[in-house]
Amino acid sequence: MSKIDKVVLAYSGGLDTSVIVRWLQETYGCEVVTFTADIGQGEEVEPARAKAQALGVKDIYIDDLREEYVRDFVFPMFRANTIYEGEYLLGTSIARPLIAKRLIEIANETGADAISHGATGKGNDQVRFELGAYALKPGIKVIAPWREWDLTSREKLMQYCEQHKIPVDFSSGKKKSPYSMDANLLHISYEGGILEDPWAEAEEDMWRWSVSPEAAPDEPVYITLTFENGDPVAIDGERLSPATLLEKLNKLGGANGIGRLDIVENRYVGMKSRGCYETPGGTILLKAHRAIESITLDREVAHMKDELMPRYANLIYNGYWWSPERRMLQAAIDESQQVVNGEVRLKLYKGSVSAVGRRSTESLFDERIATFEEDAGAYDQKDAEGFIKLNALRLRIAAGKGRKLI
């Protein structure tokens, strides 16, 4: 075991990370610096300070990262219309590179020689945290307690708390959720419990951010999103900061039953995992962004973006946000977004979101050419004959050589 003098721990104030503080102090004999990020998880983060102080921590960082998270991570990802395996909007994945970045910044500020996290050895988050950390500080040491200790159950963790007099209160009258949950401004995720059976339907009282589509209002809600350079900047003409805008979309979407997802996904470490997600604002944003791109992007640019998107999604899901290939793709994506400006009108109704209007000064939609009415010579339909024959040439040659298709 290498000598560790000081370690920065990603600290939530919950059971696992409170145990980790004491375990690090005793196992490595090191000073622990705690870092708690507010990325819009919907819970008060300040109580983590008192809990860390009770554990003897002197350097305590509690940072409001909500605006940075949405502006510099969520919005760039949505410029690519990013979804993983056709459905997942990557709400957990995209938060990890920001946390890794801040862990390294604090390590540099405090002179720490290691970082630590509470991710388990079965999941994706360990990969995301550590790939980001190594990319930003190659010589950093990483301590992942779940890969080292023998505290493999909640009961053992509670026994450890009792034996080491860890002052953590888990006895509030609030009923403990049977699910493992993670939340930020983009989404809330649920794993474990009955969800470990892929055949079992999620319980209705599990969902926290949205009403069921059946219980949503009987009248649709219409909103207008304004985009500048591919990013949403206003709702119904009211300009909002990135975090405030996403928060408002979450409320609008949740109230109309939008954004629920139940999937079995392929983790990077090799196993399949069943998870449920609520991403109301992100679901609205994805629909709106594709709608504004539909009238502003050149056809081949739009198609190339769609071809690149699955690769981009894999990079984020697997933890390669800080990789050169992700940055290269981001540069191409951002270049395409210079013309993605305008407004999209959306209809929110009982779990669905529809784009019902789009307009832009950058629009490539030409009514004179697209019309079914008289176009005054804007398009010569006779040109289509040569176009079709040239594109059929290779097919005609092959058929003339006797190559059978059926």
- Please state which CATH number belongs to domain 6-82+89-163: 3.40.50.620
79, 116, 125, 273: the catalytic one is 125
63, 180, 262, 375: the catalytic one is 180
Q: Is 150 a catalytic residue?
A: no
- Chain centroid to Cα 319, Å, comes to 12
pLDDT at 169: 62
Binding annotation for L-aspartate:
120, 124-125
Q: Is 96 a catalytic residue?
A: yes
For 80-125, the pLDDT digits (tens) are 999 999 999 999 999 999 999 999 999 999 999 999 999 999 999 9
Fold of 180-297+340-359: Argininosuccinate synthetase, chain A, domain 2 (3.90.1260)
Are 6-82+89-163 and 180-297+340-359 the same fold in CATH? Answer: no
- Report if pTM > 0.75: yes
pLDDT at 173: 45
pLDDT at 396: 94
40-48 long-range contacts (CB < 8 A, ≥24 apart) are 40/66, 40/69, 40/183, 40/184, 40/185, 40/186, 40/243, 40/246, 40/247, 41/182, 41/183, 41/184, 42/183, 42/188, 43/183, 45/13, 47/13, 48/11, 48/12, 48/13
Q: Give residue limits of the domains in the chain.
A: 6-82+89-163, 180-297+340-359
CA pair distance 45, 118, nearest whole angstrom? 17
Query: Please, what are the averages of pLDDT over each run of 10 residues along the chain (406 residues)?
Result: 90 92 95 97 89 94 98 98 98 98 98 96 95 98 95 88 78 64 96 96 96 97 98 98 98 98 96 97 98 98 98 98 98 98 98 98 93 88 94 94 88
The encoded tokens of residue 282 equal: 């992100």
Binding annotation:
10-18, 37, 88, 93, 118, 120, 124-125, 128, 180, 189, 265, 277
Give how far Cα 228 sits from Cα of 9, 308, 341, 368, 369, Å. Answer: 38, 22, 5, 26, 27
Q: Is 368 a catalytic residue?
A: no
Q: Is 59 a catalytic residue?
A: no
